[in-house]
Amino acid sequence: MKVAISGAGVAGPSLAYWLRRTGHEPTLIERAPQFRTGGYVIDFWGVGYRIAQLMGIEKVILDAGYQVHTIRSVGSDNRVRASLSTDAIRKAAGQKFTSLPRGDLAAAIYDTVKDDVETIFGNNITAINEHSDGVSVSFSGAMTRDFDLVIGADGLHSNVRRLAFGPETDAEHYLGCCVAACVLEGYRPRDELVYVTHTEPGRSVGRFSLRGDRTMVLFVFRSAEAADPGNLEGRKASLRTVYADTGWECPQILAALDDVDDLYFDVVSQIRLPSWSRGRTALVGDAAACVSLLAGEGTGLAMTEAYVLAGELHCAQGDYRRAFANYEKRMRRFIEDKQIAAQKFLPVFATRTQFGVRFRDFVMGALNFRPLASLLVSRSLRDDFELPDYAM
């Protein structure tokens, strides 16, 4: 079957990889003019890690990744308030755990399909017209092509979801926070393989040293409105307003934004839909059921959904209705449980009160007690999902 996949991030190329292996003809459509990198540093583990092993990209990911050994919380005066070794996290994940920029993971996946799968950059799907034999898809580049299926893998603000399912406001559930991330060149100080974070009521800022004398900075803050300031300068201005009186290294970090030309900025939301498919159109990854960055494994879940969707299409031998239904049946409960768990992590990133900050730091310190850490971390990292073997 000819399958149009909107989005060339993580979910889209993952799906294209498995569809190609099973004899289908996927086409990736990406609105950006070229492959996009950037984003924030993610933790990669669990069922997504197993998918990466099946795709043969584990080594590439590990080479690009970082084995973070400490998470450190500091006060305005830069004194350490709490410090957590990641040993318990790695043990709970069976040592199948690494941290890397999201863009590096996306690149590793895209490299598996870039030579075999058509990618149309600089285009967006503007209309989906289903007929008896397939789907006519119109593009922003003033062309129309026919496909058998359309898959929306275009993220939290999915254009395909809007076209096929209706207004985004019906599906998006804002969690009251915004996130921003950027890379600073030559920033000092550096703490190798340590994630350093400073939290004040309603906002946090953290940094992590990358190779090439670069530093990734992550901002998470509470906001009554789910709004993106839009352009680069608007985003910088928003961060300077929110963090204007924040202590620690924040004045230095805000000043360094002057030299930043790529600043990721988005709301922290979840997507909840009664169904992940409609006719010949289906959704995968954040477009279907975004768990938000609070879950800590959205990229791995997107890879898993892509694998299961491709596997069910393979088993259904062209019966897309059966495939879509089985895909959702296998994945929905698992993803919904992850969404519920993610909401509980909101105070970790942006607690409302100073007492909440202190309590979070107390819990972080207590997790250095190995028996307690093993119990809590193993529960948090447990994946109650049996990965099907589709023989693809």
- Place 161 in a pLDDT band, splitting at 50, 70 and 90: very high
Q: Is residue 149 assigned to a domain?
A: yes
372 has a pLDDT exceeding 80: no
- Condensed to tens digits (0 to 9), the pLDDT of residues 163-208 reads 999 876 679 999 999 999 999 999 999 999 999 999 999 999 999 9
CA distance 162 to 110: 25
Instruction: Check whether 344 has a pLDDT greater than 90.
Output: no
Q: In which band, very low, low, confident or very high, does the pLDDT at 373 lie, cut at 50, 70 and 90?
A: low
Q: Looking at residue 152, what is its pLDDT?
A: 98
Which of 83-92, 157-166, 345-354 is predicted least confidently?
A: 83-92
For the chain, give the mean pLDDT.
Answer: 92
Q: Residue 75 above 90 pLDDT? A: yes
Q: What sign results for the dihedral spanned by CA atoms 329, 335, 340, 343?
A: negative
Residue 142 has pLDDT above 90, yes or no: no
Query: Quick one: average pLDDT of 308-335?
Result: 96
214 class by beta-carbon count within 10 Å (0-12 exposed, 13-18 middle, 19+ buried): middle
Residue range 321-331, pLDDT digits in tens = 999 999 999 99
Query: Does 67 score more than 90 pLDDT?
Result: yes
DSSP secondary structure, 123-155, as one string: --EEEEEEETTEEEEEETTS-EEEESEEEE---
Q: Is the pLDDT of residue 382 over 70?
A: no
Q: Which long-range contacts (CB under 8 A, 24 or more apart) does 162-171 make?
A: 163/125, 163/126, 163/127, 163/128, 164/128, 164/278, 164/279, 164/281, 165/273, 165/278, 165/283, 171/271, 171/272, 171/273
Q: Backbone phi, then psi, for 200, in 5-degree steps?
A: -125, 165
What is the percent of the chain where pLDDT is above 90? 78
Structural domain includes residue 316: yes
Residue among 109, 110, 113, 115 at smallest CA distance from 53: 109
Q: Give domain status of residue 282, yes or no.
A: yes
Full domain range(s) for residue 330:
2-38+100-172+269-346
pTM > 0.85: yes or no: yes
Position 378 confidence tier, pLDDT thresholds 50, 70, 90? low
In a domain, 254, yes or no: no
Sheet strands side by side (includes 118-121): 118-121, 25-30, 2-6, 149-152, 281-283, 277-278
Side-chain half-sphere of 8: how many Cα atoms within 13 Å?
Answer: 27
**Beta bridge pairs of residue 205:** 198, 219
- What would the mean pLDDT of 121-141 be, rounded to a whole number? 94
C-beta of residue 153 within 8 angstroms of C-beta of residue 11: yes
Within a domain: 303:
yes
User: What pLDDT was estimated at residue 198?
Assistant: 97
Q: List, for residues 87-105, the tens digit of each pLDDT value.
A: 877 777 777 889 999 999 9
- Give the model confidence (pLDDT) of 213-251 as tens digits: 999 999 999 999 888 888 999 999 999 999 999 999 999
pLDDT tens, residue by residue, 8-18: 999 999 999 99
The confidence score (pLDDT) of residue 381 equals 58
Domain membership of residue 48 (yes or no) is no
pLDDT band at 37 (very low <50, low <70, confident <90, very high): confident
Is 297 within the bounds of a domain? yes
Average pLDDT over residues 378-388: 72
CATH no. for residue 17?
3.50.50.60
Q: Spell out a b/e string for 11-21, using b for 16 or more CB atoms within 10 Å of the CB, else e.
A: bbbbbbbbbbb
Tokens found for residue 24: 């289908």
What's the domain count of the chain? 1
pLDDT tops 80 at residue 384: no
Tell me, what's the pLDDT at 89? Answer: 74
pLDDT-wise least confident of 43-47, 91-95, 123-127, 295-299: 91-95
Establish if 288 belongs to a structural domain.
yes
